[in-house]
Amino acid sequence: MVDWGSFATQAPALAAAGRRLLYGGGEGLAFLATVRNGETPRIHPVNVGIVGDGLYAFLLDSAKRRDLESDGRFALHAHQDPQAPSEFMLRGRARAIEPGATRDDVAAEWYFSVDDGYRLFEFSIETALLGERDGPDAWPPRYSRFRGGDR
Q: 107 is in which domain, residue-wise?
A: 4-147
- Sign of the Cα torsion 138, 80, 96, 63 reads negative
Angle, CA of 24, 128 and 43, to the nearest 5°: 65
Question: Please, which residues bridge with residue 135 across strands?
Answer: none
Alpha helices in 1-146 (DSSP H): 4-10, 12-22, 63-70, 101-108
Angle, CA of 138, 142 and 143, to the nearest 5°: 140
Mean pLDDT across 75-82: 92
**Confidence band of 150 (pLDDT split at 50, 70, 90):** very low
Residue partners of 32: CB distance under 8 A and separation at least 6: 43, 44, 45, 46, 57, 64, 74, 75, 76
Question: What is the model's pLDDT at position 149?
Answer: 61
Count of domains observed in the chain = 1
**Which pTM value belongs to this model?**
0.93
pLDDT at 107 > cutoff 70:
yes
Cβ–Cβ < 8 Å for 56, 122: yes
Mean pLDDT across 54-77: 96
CATH number at residue 67: 2.30.110.10
Per-residue DSSP letter, 137: T
